[in-house]
Amino acid sequence: MALLDKISLPEDVRKLQQKELGRLCAELREYIVDCCSKNPGHLASSLGAVEIITALHYIYNTPKDKIVFDVGHQAYAHKILTGRKEQFKKMRTEGGISGFPLRSESPYDVFGAGHSSTSISAALGLAEAARLSGSGEKVVAVIGDGALTGGLAWEGLNNTGSTLADVLIILNDNNISIDEAAGGIHNYLLRITTDPTYNRMKSRIWNALGEGKIREWVQKKVTDTKSNLVRGSGGAIFEALGFRYFGPIDGNDIDQVTDTLRKLKDLKGPRILHCITTKGKGYAPAEKDPVVWHAPGKFNPATGERVRQSYPAARYQDVFGEVLVQLAKADTKVVGVTPAMASGCGMTALEKAMPERFFDVGIEEEHAVTFSAGLAAGGMKPFCNIYSSFSQRAYDCIIHDVALQGLPVVLCFDRAGLVGEDGATHHGCFDLAAYRSVPGTTIAAPRNELELKNLMYTALEAKKGPFIIRYPRGCGEGVEWKDVEPAILPPGKGECLKKGSRVAVLALGPSACRAVEAAQLCLEQTGLNPSVYDMRYLKPLDTGILEEVASSCRAILTVEDGALKGGLFGAVSEYFAGRPGSPLIKGAGIPDRFIANAPQSVQREECGIDTDGILDLLLQMIKG
């Protein structure tokens, strides 16, 4: 019988003998690979973290003791071990569990995640809450080396190190090691620094020294010695921040991880355990190419052959990447900036063609925006591509560093609107409402691939910024764009797609295409022929279209793939507010709630912004 069949909750893991944990880890990997081959998810990261997660649940009394995961896409083993083994098969599907830790889903998910670099700050909050309540809970944060580049992680480190909080931070280093193991000396230091007798003696001496220059001198000598013994010691920077640093250890050696955690569990104060892991560990194809296997889609688990996806049209991200290279070839001042999303947003095309004009700044959205502002101030023409959801983290920088200074930064928001299986943490719902109020900002949404190309050429001509272009995840509408001469689309000018009467649909982005379909169905079913306009720009708004519609229609339906409150519906409603005899205005958009994971088509249907949903609203307006 498989060990995993005996495991329902972490208390079952704690009943095992330590020598059985290696077998359990192997079975967890096999289960994750099998499930993800049929139901795609984030594979390689979770395979690399299996031993860390297993050891944590073995040593700590979860859920009383708290484990906080950063980003959360490495937490699949955690989901399986905490009562969701069967549900894991349907993860990220409609009605299924989330692909990220979710507080409402399980008491073991103590803090939700989806964006990066949050774990240390959250863990400090949990630790201080435990101290104030006297609960005696232990708190552990698990953060990857990529997430550690984020500014919020360093804010958390800086604050945590200045406290006496009982927090253990596990640095899951699966790419670039912060420091390098130094053979026998490294192993000796690890044994010494985690030895209980050593730590009891160190604490007594430390307390006896008291506050003052002697303690500071001793601490400096200890830190300098460690830095000299462990070549290029990354531990020194953590100890300078107030942490006790341990490691690095082999994070895929279950015995070493378990033994180390056992020794560190009852130590007090801020600690960091540095674990070196292999992304994709235990599955050869994922180990060989962890970038591709980060989220590989469906595949044959026996052979590692991926099921190649065929697309009915070009993906927006690929259009962006190809057009950016065209722009960069024509203008030597064009550069590309991305916060660790080069492959996802299509900017790898620029990286290959002109690596000197490509900047991947790591998971640092705020820095990406302000860095782009600096490039613009220096005369360059930056295209900064950020997923719409992640742009929220750079909101202040967009206002203060770009808009306030009027700098010509092109901000391309990929994954705008509903994103599908990644769910609520990744939807780009709020960008339209968030940035519409920012002075001097241009906000555009292309309805298809050619419009994206044209808007990128248009944005390049802008003398001031920010110029925001937001577009969805997935494929375009299948229109020809590659060999079409680009056109400049004047800001504040939309387009009439279908001329009708009595009712007008004002749409933004690809919603305009669905609006045309719905209007045609309405004509066929009722004989009423609604007009359809692609507004193209949310800001500046095409007031000419609004006046035209007001003079010829008695009702307006706005349609947008963004939050209904504050976006296009809000802008149109504000324009007509208080005007006598103005048209009736209704809106279709993402409602005032978070939308769960499901296919994009299902999510659009839920929100009423698919073709049928738009048609239903038109029919209601006609009857009304």
Q: Is 29 a catalytic residue?
A: no
Rounded distance between C-alpha atoms, residue 48 and residue 376, angstroms: 40
Rounded distance between C-alpha atoms, residue 252 and residue 277, angstroms: 6
Annotated active-site residue in 84, 138, 271, 393 = 393
The phi-psi region of residue 168 (left if phi > 0; otherwise alpha if psi is between -120 and 50; otherwise beta) is beta
Relative to beta strand 553-563, strand 584-590 is parallel
Rounded distance between C-alpha atoms, residue 345 and residue 428, angstroms: 14
Q: Residue 302 contacts by C-beta under 8 Å, 6 or more apart in sequence? A: none
Rounded distance between C-alpha atoms, residue 277 and residue 65, angstroms: 24
Q: What angle do CA 476, 446, 554 make, to 5 degrees?
A: 115
Q: Residue 89 contacts by C-beta under 8 Å, 6 or more apart in sequence? A: 35, 38, 39
DSSP 571-591: HHHHHHTT-TTPPEEEEEEE-
DSSP-derived 3-state class of residue 470: strand
Which has the closest alpha carbon to 442: 489, 397, 481?
Answer: 489
Structure tokens at 316: 């927006």
Relative to beta strand 584-590, strand 467-470 is unpaired
DSSP-derived 3-state class of residue 570: helix
Rounded distance between C-alpha atoms, residue 31 and residue 34, angstroms: 5
Rounded distance between C-alpha atoms, residue 242 and residue 223, angstroms: 11
Residue corresponding to tokens 């387009």: 495
352 forms beta bridges with none
Q: Is 86 a catalytic residue?
A: no
Q: Is 495 a catalytic residue?
A: no
Annotated active-site residue in 279, 357, 381, 470 = 279
Structure tokens at 473: 């995840």
Q: What is the 3-class SS of 167-229, one letter each residue?
A: EEEEEEECCCCCCCCCHHHHHHHHHHHHCHHHHHHHHHHHHHHCCCHHHHHHHHHHHHHHHHH
Rounded distance between C-alpha atoms, residue 596 and residue 614, angstroms: 21
Annotated active-site residue in 51, 322, 364, 365 = 365
Rounded distance between C-alpha atoms, residue 565 and residue 590, angstroms: 8
Neighbours of 611 (CB within 10 A): 19
Active-site positions read 279, 365, 393
